[in-house]
Amino acid sequence: MKTDYNCFVGAWPFVKRRQIDFDGLRIMHEKHGIETGFVSSLGAVFYNDPFEGDFELAKTIKGSGYKQAVSINPMLPNTVYDIKRAEESFSYDAFRIYPTIHGYDFDSPQFIEFHHMAIQKKKPVFIHCAFGDIRLDYLLKQNPFEVDSLKQFLASGMRIPVVLCNMRHGSMIDMEQTLNNDKNIYVDMSEMRHSMFSLEDMADAGLLNKVVFGAFYPMFDFLAAYMHFDGVEEKTCSNILNRKII
Amino acid sequence: MIIDVHAHLWANNYKEDKKTVLKACELFDIDKIYISTISSYYPDYEEIEYCNKLTCEFMKEQPSRIAGYIYIDPTHSNRVEVLKRGLDNGMEGVKLWVAAKCDDYRVYDIAKYCIDKNVPVLAHAFHKAIGLLEHESTAVNIRCLALRYPELKIIMAHLGGNVYHGLRCIADLENVYSDFSGTMIGTGDINYALELVGEDRILFGTDLPGGGRQCFAQVEEASLTHLQKDKIYYKNAQKIFGGSK
């Protein structure tokens, strides 16, 4: 099933974005043959009660065949309770985290506690290595993304699938060894905008089997990721689009 | 037909960049691509000469496909000489980057010469929340230059870095065009640009060798008629690059 691992519904508070509702997402997916997605609430990224954003989204996508990735800020005191409430209120399939926005390292006790919880619940974790174009941020100041810190965390071995979302092309290549050493780590295509021949470079680095499709729509143009399939062998494209991580 | 009005070679990587540019031209049927070679933010005289030499060599190697911008640092006293020499070598436009704001008084003689020779100026502009360089232009500087020289054809790069801030700033100035080269890929930016300045002032650019596919994506994702696409992909560029008198 062709899947988008990085898609959102809702308004980004700092720059105007269009087609931000679920219908806009679905129409875009249908147009390009994407059958489902792990969708998250943009509002929940910023709420100090992310559950409320997730709960709203759950009602919106119910019965659609889409899966929900709930937004987690491990630094909030009510994270454990939020997850419990989510389990009681709706069905979700993954966790999505934003260390550069919420400001923590992979060795912080709160993150480690959350990670253990994700392992217990056997849910994949989508880690956003950045969120949007930091040059255009207004009011928000994201922490710089620390590749070394992430490498160290991933080197401990992932017992659940992890998708690195919004990772820049150069960092993916830089993490070649880490990615290839662990069958549970994947990267999405949303930041391939920095290279013209990104998938080719990934193939050269032996990383094609690590790539899943994710467009980061509606923050980014959907086709900005999808067009990286142009000129690429159909089988390779199909493998990426249909890749299952769980 | 496709004309890319904004691409580069990086002087320290020019051999690889040439390959990337040509490979992209083949894959995406880019018929003509306007190149400037750049290197450091604050180049010295030799560096400017070297960059322009690399561009000219690329033009000679690929005459049907590669066109050149003259890279000029306005703070250099020989700036007009550099401009004249570039035009003599067949280059078709001027590239201003981040060494001086584009409305700096030292740009005035460049502007006057460009008007006289009917040569467009591609001016970098980017409104950044973080990392804005001391002399980096924003759309406000483009506006000031355009108001001072209404006959000067200006291409504001990257939609000014933020379509909502940048394009609004120059919307009423008919001598300012804009390209959407670069890595900003906000959903709906091209549709907004069209609403604001119309289809005759938007130009296709990639900012190659860094990325580029997203620029095609933006055109293909926007709600455009065939005619609008043609204007953006090449017709508007054909009008601007009329060549020197």
Under 8 Å CB-to-CB from B92, ≥6 apart: which residues? Answer: B34, B67, B68, B69, B119, B120, B241, B243, B244
Q: Does B131 touch chain A (CB under 8 A)?
A: yes
Question: pLDDT tens digits, residue range A203-216?
Answer: 999 999 999 999 99
Give me the helix-helix angle, B108-117 and B139-148, nearest 10°. Answer: 60
Is B245 contained in some domain?
no
Does A98 have pLDDT greater than 80?
A: yes
Mean pLDDT, residues A5-12 taken together: 95
Kindly provide the residue ranges of all beta strands, DSSP E only, lying in A53-181, ordered along the sequence. 67-72, 94-97, 125-128, 162-165
Is B14 contained in some domain?
yes
Does B184 have pLDDT greater than 80?
A: no
Residues of A in contact with B28 (CB under 8 A): 230
Does B242 have pLDDT greater than 90?
A: no
For the ranges A10-19, A31-40, B208-217, the one whose mean pLDDT is highest: A31-40
Q: Which domain holds residue B97?
A: 3-240
| Whether B130 and A137 lie within 8 Å, measured CB to CB | yes
Starting at the earlier edge strand, list the strands of the sheet with A211-212.
A3-9, A36-41, A67-72, A94-97, A125-128, A162-165, A185-188, A211-212
**Which residue from A184, A231, A224, A174 is spatially nearest to A6, judged by alpha carbons?**
A224
| Whether B130 and A141 lie within 8 Å, measured CB to CB | yes
Say how many domains are in chain B: 1
Mean pLDDT, residues A135-139 taken together: 82
Q: Does B126 touch chain A (CB under 8 A)?
A: yes
Is B178 contained in some domain?
yes
- pTM to 2 decimals? 0.91
For residues A29 and A62, the answer to whether their CB atoms sit within 8 Å is: no
Question: pLDDT tens digits, residue range A216-246?
Answer: 999 999 999 999 999 999 999 999 999 999 8
pLDDT grade for B210, boundaries at 50, 70 and 90: confident
Residue B142 to residue A240: CA distance in whole angstroms: 43
For residues A198 and A229, the answer to whether their CB atoms sit within 8 Å is: no
Question: pLDDT tens digits, residue range B84-122?
Answer: 999 999 999 999 999 999 999 999 999 999 999 999 999
**How, if at all, do strands B66-71 and A3-9 pair?**
unpaired
Residue B236 to residue B120: CA distance in whole angstroms: 12
Residue B187's pLDDT is 81
b or e along B144-162 (b: 16 or more beta carbons within 10 Å of the residue's beta carbon)? Answer: ebbeebeebbbbbbbbbbb
Q: Does B19 touch chain A (CB under 8 A)?
A: no
| Whether A136 and B191 lie within 8 Å, measured CB to CB | no
Phi, psi values for residue A117, rounded to 5°: -65, -40
> The tokens 């207004």 sit on which residue?
A138
Question: pLDDT tens digits, residue range A107-116?
Answer: 999 999 999 9
Residue B245's pLDDT is 40
| Whether A194 and B162 lie within 8 Å, measured CB to CB | no
Mean pLDDT, residues B160-168 taken together: 89
C-alpha to C-alpha distances, A17 to B81, B192, B214, nearest whole angstrom: 45, 10, 17
Residue B91's pLDDT is 97
Which of B129, B211, B220 shows the shortest C-beta gap to A194? B211
| Whether B221 and A194 lie within 8 Å, measured CB to CB | no
**How, if at all, do strands A94-97 and B32-38 pair?**
unpaired
Residue B141's pLDDT is 98
ipTM for this prediction: 0.85
Does B243 have pLDDT greater than 60?
A: no
How far off is chain A from B129, nearest CA to CA, in Å? 5
Q: Which helix (H) or strand (E) holds A79?
A: helix A79-89
Q: Give the domain CATH number at B17.
A: 3.20.20.140
Question: pLDDT tens digits, residue range B44-93?
Answer: 999 999 999 999 999 999 999 999 999 999 999 999 999 999 999 999 99
